[in-house]
A and B are shown apart, each in its own frame.
Chain A
């Protein structure tokens, strides 16, 4: 393991962390404001990727595809909210988990029925193809840098919206004490619809951006969803700042662990056993981190409530 490789892995980790953040941001706000567990948030990411790939193919342009994905995923998120989620706010977490699990089953299968099981491809746009020389002998793909920049810009925008606008203030207040905000005359339901739609759009945006570098396939949202949950639990439920830091942490640990663990294991084991054990350790690492953090700080790193 040399510095070049480590740098590449760190960049990959940051870029993965940024994507995770875009998914986790909506999740943590929905969770924080309405105390609502939405397992189906991962399928928004998947839909974003599918819609992005389809729309890009239809319009013949990556940019139009990305742009049209935003209103499409927003509309879909609001539709789901109207049809299913709004009937679950008063229910316990168990009901929410089950009903949104039903949404996952339906949409994963729906995507299979409509697009088939074969992975879809979305081409990298001409403008962002090729690579950038970061240092001697290190050419890093431009598109991945673009994801990093776009993600950071979105995170900045989100920070501004949440910390510096009136709506953001209400959202933060809602995350801290929703009944109180409601008692002060704010229509918490409408506020929630707004947060929900915006969160769905962010997840869709993340999916569409990730589509050119990942294979677009049914169920692609499920694993990311679980990592996003890890992120919001580590970061503290309802905290956007916590989600940002935790997302980068999880992205880095996951990516660097995946590349370094096999090498680390080789110190103790023979190569083939080390490769297997290393892969397993890398996948587990993030959950070990989460269990450790929860064992010592049950409310996460940046608890919002009280």
Chain B
């Protein structure tokens, strides 16, 4: 088979589409699946940076946070029309990514990790000081987004398929980007910056564009995350959340957006399962992470390819 990654992704999308009709249609399961799909989008956007560009960002949760807080600000002003809120959320995150990325991408390696972490912390502290929107305690939305005045998204099944549709769109976009000329330059600069320069490509604008696109997708998942929970708190932007996102990407594997997709689904489901098992689930989760780093190079995607 020439394109195993497409087959894997399509199989997952089919399973997600079928899930509500084969016993996972109750509110609880749908909420969990929506959460998994939303983090899937965020992880795919991060994999464009980490896998495609070799840019290890430890501040990606801030992109989700900006998108989520765009929803909060508009909700507070009683604007809940999706055609207004979604573009604003995406635009705000893209703008944040453009401004911070313009500085961060001047650095590389360890410094890039640290400076993205620093920008993430700035966003975190900013949101926790917004007393108008609940400060540290967070903000409960009045209602979910409306589409042309319709409250259809309040229904779990509609929200489920909205998330699935957007997830497929995000996956297809990132996959197409990585296979385009743009993606090739990005990967060439990741593998050997000097050589990329020597053949006439200045990596900076390509990296910045990737950073902004990843930020925009992160903003979209932030908008959805806020609507899934109907609640937003600064904890969405905590640096641990950025660490979680990186773990999703690595757990799935860096070989393409399907890896990040699998990683995010596995992460959310494992987290849920462990949390049910014991209150101290992180005692298992932490070593699991270390185990994955030690023994699962290539992630789940790598296992599938070998298997």
Contact = CB atoms under 8 A, between A and B. Distances in A.
B125 A276 contact: no
* From B107, B110, B115, residue with most partner A Cβ within 10 Å: B110
Interface stretch (B19-27, B158-166, B288-296): B288-296
Contacts of B114: 229-230, 233
A288 B122 contact: yes
B110 A93 contact: yes
A104 B286 CA distance: 7
Interface in A19-33: 31
A93 B56 contact: yes
B66 interface: no
Contacts of B286: 102-107, 109
B136 to A, nearest CB: 11
Interface string B244-270: 001100100000000000000000000
A279 B122 CA distance: 12
Please classify the interface of chain A as helix (H, G, I), strand (E, B), loop, or mixed, using the class held by over half of its residues.
Answer: helix
Interface stretch (B37-45, B69-77, B224-232, B277-285): B277-285
A91 B56 CA distance: 14
Interface in A98-149: 98-99, 101-110, 112-113
Interface stretch (A159-167, A173-181, A289-297): A289-297
A166 B70 CA distance: 57
B290 A294 contact: no
B129 interface: yes
A290 B113 CA distance: 13
Contacts, number: 126
B243 to A, nearest CB: 4
A207 to B, nearest CB: 20
B282 A294 contact: no
Contacts of A272: 131
A102 B293 contact: yes
B103 A87 contact: no
Report the interface size class on chain A: 35 or more
A277 B129 contact: yes
Given A276-B129, A284-B122, A233 B290 contact: no
B109 A279 contact: no
A194 interface: no
A271 interface: no
B118 A102 contact: no
Contacts of B288: 102
Contacts of B250: 94-95, 98
B121 interface: yes
Given A226-B239, A229-B117, A94 B103 contact: no
A280 B129 contact: yes
A280 to B, nearest CB: 3
A91 B283 CA distance: 24
Contacts of A88: 293
Contacts of A280: 125-126, 128-130
Contacts of A288: 122
Name which of A91, A288, A290 has the most chain B CB atoms within 10 A of its CB.
A290
A276 B135 CA distance: 9
A84 interface: yes
A294 B102 CA distance: 12
A105 B126 contact: no
Nearest to B107: A298
A230 B131 CA distance: 27
12 contacts: A91-B293, A94-B50, A97-B243, A98-B289, A99-B290, A102-B287, A105-B282, A105-B289, A107-B286, A230-B118, A237-B110, A279-B129
Top-7 shortest CB links A-B: A106-B286, A102-B289, A280-B129, A283-B125, A105-B286, A109-B282, A102-B290
Interface of A: 31, 35, 37, 84, 87-88, 91, 93-95, 97-99, 101-110, 112-113, 222, 226, 229-230, 233, 237, 272, 276-277, 279-280, 283-284, 287-288, 290-291, 294-295, 298-299
